């Protein structure tokens, strides 16, 4: 009986891996070390996908099936899993069609460089290294750990400054204290991010990233993906969560913010350098995404930088 179940599980896992996972672009804010957020169901990231960042994923509502590498399991609220770099994963909730769930999970994502720097700065964090290594196959924690993690991750959603770091360390401590950890993917499973990157959507996203300052036409990208323009438009929105134009504009405005912070180029020069072909459209898109014009955004950043250079005497005098 157990042999039959094991064979069935392996067959299901192989079937789940027929489809190549999609790349999720994780945008960690420039002034933060990690990203914490929540989402409902259905949601654009609820698909078979991967990303270079580590992820700590806590289910807060619904039940269903989850997929990590070649593992398939059942989940319920309190399901707490950590996945490693480029390990494909997905959680699919069992809810009636057309049902919408406001919050399905809490998610924390951080990259390997941040983990390396943190361990180098604080030797006490070396205890985390075996957990990071085990996450290459995915790690499932106990429901008790899930209950302990929820208030920490929920507070993280609105925390700022040093409080975010203390909560992050507290969360790691919860994971380390959970002694009944279960590796999910089989020992033989190996994620192949190079192969995943060859899929149509990932090839398109990589092309956009490399050619952001150039003119990007949806017709040309559709041809690159081997699709009609209408099919590509639907395909792109389903995988990126935005229309092609919205996605490109968001990347260009994010790049513009980096150049504005550097303070070396004029706003007009930045406009053209990030790929906009006229200043009015650049200003309009910047205002739409940042809720202020680029000139004010730069002024606020300069004010922020200047405050850090104030002398102790000046601070005391104020």
Say yes or no: 209 and 152 in one domain: no
The residue ranking higher by pLDDT, 124 or 46, is 124
Closest CA to 277 of 298, 248, 244: 248
Q: What pLDDT is attached to residue 264?
A: 78
Q: Give the pLDDT band of residue 139 (cuts 50, 70, 90).
A: very high
Q: Give the lowest-confidence range in 38-42, 169-173, 299-303.
A: 299-303
By DSSP bridging, strand 35-41 and strand 139-140 are unpaired
Q: What pLDDT is attached to residue 157?
A: 95
Q: Give the pLDDT band of residue 305 (cuts 50, 70, 90).
A: low
The answer to whether 36 touches 108, Cβ cutoff 8 Å, is: yes
Is 26 a member of any domain? yes
State if pTM tops 0.85: no
Is the pLDDT score of 74 beyond 70?
yes
Say yes or no: 218 and 133 in one domain: no
Is the pLDDT score of 63 beyond 90?
yes
Give me 229's structure tokens. Answer: 């323009």
Instruction: Tell me which of 139, 157, 183 is where a domain ends.
Output: 183
Say yes or no: 156 and 209 in one domain: no
Say yes or no: 84 and 226 in one domain: no
Is 267 a member of any domain? yes
Question: How many structural domains comprise the chain?
Answer: 2
Say yes or no: 88 and 205 in one domain: no
Is the pLDDT score of 151 beyond 50?
yes
Say yes or no: 220 and 298 in one domain: yes
- Please compute, for residue 61, the number of CA atoms within 13 A of its CA located in the half-sphere on the CB side: 11
Q: What pLDDT is attached to residue 10?
A: 38
Give me 302's structure tokens. Answer: 């300069």
Give the CATH number, domain containing residue 264.
Answer: 1.10.10.60
Mean pLDDT in residue range 239-267: 84
Q: Give the pLDDT band of residue 38 (cuts 50, 70, 90).
A: very high
Mean pLDDT in residue range 2-6: 36
The answer to whether 80 touches 145, Cβ cutoff 8 Å, is: yes
Domain that holds residue 126: 2-183
Over residues 90-107, the pLDDT tens digits come to 999 999 988 999 999 999
Mean pLDDT in residue range 178-191: 85
Instruction: Tell me which of 138, 160, 183 is where a domain ends.
Output: 183
């Amino acid at each position: 009986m157990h042999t039959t179940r094991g064979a069935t599980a392996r067959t299901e896992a192989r079937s789940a891996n027929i489809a190549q996972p999609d790349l999720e672009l994780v945008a960690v804010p420039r002034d933060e070390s990690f990203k914490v957020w929540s989402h409902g169901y259905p949601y654009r990231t609820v698909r078979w996908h991967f990303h270079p960042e580590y992820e700590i994923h806590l289910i807060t509502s619904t039940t269903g099936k989850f997929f990590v590498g070649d593992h398939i399991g059942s989940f319920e609220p309190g399901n707490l899993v950590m996945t490693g770099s480029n390990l494909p994963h997905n959680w699919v909730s069992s809810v009636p069609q057309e049902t919408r769930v406001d919050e399905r999970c809490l998610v924390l994502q951080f990259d390997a460089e941040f983990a390396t720097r943190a361990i180098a700065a604080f030797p006490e964090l070396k205890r985390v290294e075996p957990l990071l290594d085990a996450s290459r196959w995915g790690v499932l924690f106990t429901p008790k750990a899930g209950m302990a993690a929820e208030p920490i991750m929920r507070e993280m959603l609105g925390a700022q400054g040093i409080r975010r770091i203390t909560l992050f360390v507290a969360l790691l401590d919860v994971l380390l204290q959970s002694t009944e950890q279960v590796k999910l993917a089989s020992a033989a499973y190996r994620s192949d991010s190079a192969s995943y990157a060859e899929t149509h959507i990932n090839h398109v996203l990589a092309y956009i990233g490399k050619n952001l300052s150039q003119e990007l036409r949806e017709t040309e990208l559709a041809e690159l993906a081997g699709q009609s323009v209408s099919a590509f438009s639907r395909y792109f929105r389903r995988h990126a969560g935005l229309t092609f134009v919205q996605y490109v504009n968001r990347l260009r405005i994010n790049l513009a913010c980096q150049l504005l912070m550097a303070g070396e180029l004029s706003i007009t020069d930045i406009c053209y350098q990030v790929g906009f072909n006229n200043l009015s459209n650049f200003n309009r898109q910047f205002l739409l995404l940042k809720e202020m014009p680029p000139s004010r955004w730069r002024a606020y950043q300069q004010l922020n930088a200047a405050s850090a250079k104030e002398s102790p005497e000046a601070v005391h005098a104020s």
